[in-house]
Amino acid sequence: MNINQKIKLHNRLYDYADKLIKEHNPCKIKNGKCIRGNFCCYGCKYLTENGCSTKCLWCKLWLCVHLRRQPEHRSLILKLRKIERAARKKRLIIERGSGEDLIRYLKNYLQLKNSGF
């Protein structure tokens, strides 16, 4: 799988996770805050007044401990974990990383892999 295929897969997985989050609305965002107060992404360099400015799959898949303990989110969590397993298998998870970060990571990984490391 080349880099362009991996980026396309990343974006498909991201879009699916985004759709799930929007459907389930586990954070119950109201007036710019989640049910726990500040967003988990508070302080992230990609957080703007309009939300996240990049497509970071890791962030889309992550839910805080409070939400993970809620039984009503069980089906959502199982779906997100399935997406996470697929993404990890293809090395598409970067913590709070942009699309450009992912491309750099994939290029470096492929260079190392091809050099025998």
Note the pLDDT of residue 38: 67
Domain count for the chain, please give it: 1
pLDDT digits (tens, 9 = 90+) for 20-64: 998 998 888 777 677 777 667 777 788 777 777 888 888 888 888
Per the structure block, which two tokens stand in for 74?
Answer: 């069980």
> pTM of the predicted model, to two decimals?
0.81
What is the pLDDT, as a whole number, of residue 39?
66
Q: Hey, which of 11-20, 85-94, 103-112 has the most confident mean pLDDT?
A: 11-20
The range of the structural domain enclosing residue 86 comes to: 3-114
pLDDT at 87: 93
Please provide residue 103's backbone torsions phi and psi, each rounded to the nearest 5 degrees: -60, -45
**Distance between CA 55 and CA 18 in Å, rounded?**
10
pLDDT value for 65: 81
Residue 16 is predicted with a pLDDT of 96
* pLDDT for 99 beyond 80: no
